[in-house]
Structure 1
Amino acid sequence: MGNVIDLGRGLRAAVTERSGGVSAPPYDSLNLGLGTGDDREAVLANRETAARNLGFEVERVVWMNQVHSADVLVATEPGSVGTCDGVVTTRSDLVLASMAADCLPVLAADAASGVLGAAHSGRLGTAAGVAANLVESMVAQGADTDRITVFLGPAICGKCYEVPEHVRDETARNTPEAACVTRRGTAGVDMLAAVTAQLRRAGVTDITADGRCTLESPELFSHRRDAPTGRFASFLWRA
């Protein structure tokens, strides 16, 4: 199901895992993604189960319609915030969610100002700088980069994320840290290294990471390993 992570100063994060839900294969079993082809009622039941087990009401969650963009929206109420890959809120009662199955979830918070942010940084979003846009949007809502804490969820690692050379080069055009070599000696993309570099350039220094590779971790959904498959969620909220 996943464990609650104490980020300090009243902040909580959690990354869900595959088990504990009702979805049938190939989405088995705690699939939280509505756009996967899974049964809608099963996904909604899974969302209810995940929220309850993590200690908050599912009605508090803000969900993004993720499209691999660098767009960030401000959420003023729970439910769907719209089409974007980053969301920011100043409301203390909302829970932010980022869905993934190889892409990198980004959870960010400034506890002093009460500004929370979440992003979904896939290859295209990483190339476009969605994490930096998230920080910029948080600052616009009253956050201070010196106080922002970031937790990076699981994602496919650079040793596993093999891409054509031109795709690697396109991804690394603005963030050289994205370019890497896979364990097979081929061109790869390291989203964790790239997003960490983008956040540091944006002025954020308090960064921690889950560290798991989705492709190598059977308890997590991985699109590259298992497509079609489900989605796990990384949640951020104030206790």
Structure 2
Amino acid sequence: MTLLHHHDRIEGDLVIEVAFTDVSLSLGDAAADDVRDEALRQVAEATMATPVLMHQVHGADAALVAGRDAGGPDTCDALYTSQPEVALLARAADCVPVLLADPDTGWIAAVHCGRPGLAAGVVPATIAAVRDAGGHPKVAWMGPHVCGACYEVPVQLQEQVGAIVPASRSTTSWGTPALDLGAGVRAQLAAAGITDVRVVDVCTREDPSWPSYRRDGAAATRFAGAIWSHP
């Protein structure tokens, strides 16, 4: 089975499952079509669900996936659905993959949250979209991402993002201005009333077994957080 990393599940009328793809799978935009198709085939086999990718653009748009054959939109940074047997994927290589679930209704969401998405409020926007659709996310998972001690930024950028999300202000382990994306996301989840937050406590820059754009630049691949449901 491909999705073995940090697997979790919640049982209810529908079973909701969460996992993170094996980093040997190449899910980046730069991957050749046949390589990415094979990765998606393995994801489908592992989840027994139809995987849906998005073309992530560091914005705050959330798109509804209406059915198994609907596919993903051209560009967005969040997907949500109540359709069983659809695996929503949020890709990352330092950004925070955020997965959301309402076990009572079966609504799920996958969010790609980097620095621009944190400032733009992609996580709160997705929660609002799911609520407008009739779901009430109660559980969130945060996948591996760059930590606040490693994500150095210019002081002006720290001030800009920190003014919007104060919890994101940080300092690197070598004493320079930084942002803590994970702390910022946790603050936004708390403000939205989501207190069951399950964090994979791994820094992608520090752990070479995970892709990191900060560490590897353009050579970095992407892993994905996946969430899906089934009877």
Shared fold (TM-score, shorter chain, > 0.5): yes
**Letter aligned with residue 202 of structure 1:** A
Q: Are residues 1:219 and 2:209 paired?
A: yes
CA distance in 2, matches of 1:73, 1:83: 9
Partner SS state of residue 214, structure 1: coil
Counterpart mapping for 1:1-239 below 5 A: 1-3=2-4, 5-9=7-11, 10-19=15-24, 30-33=25-28, 35-36=29-30, 38-52=31-45, 54-57=46-49, 60-78=50-68, 79-145=71-137, 148-228=138-218, 229-239=220-230
Q: How far 1:162 moved relative to its partner?
A: 0.5
Give the superposed CA RMSD.
1.4
Question: Unpaired segments of 5 or more residues in structure 2?
Answer: none
Q: Is the 8 A contact 1:69 1:84 kept in 2?
A: yes
CA distance in 1, matches of 2:3, 2:84: 23
CA distance in 2, matches of 1:234, 1:193: 18
**Letter aligned with residue 236 of structure 1:** I
Large movers: runs of 4+ above 3 Å: none
Partner SS state of residue 54, structure 2: strand
CA distance in 1, matches of 2:135, 2:151: 33
Deviation readout 1:160-205 (Å, 9 max, x if unpaired) = 1001011111111211001100101000010100000001101111
Partner SS state of residue 73, structure 2: strand
- TM-score, length-scaled by structure 2: 0.91
Question: Unpaired segments of 5 or more residues in structure 1?
Answer: 20-29
User: How many percent of aligned residue pairs carry the same amino acid?
Assistant: 34
- TM-score, length-scaled by structure 1: 0.88
Partner SS state of residue 125, structure 2: helix
Partner SS state of residue 225, structure 1: helix
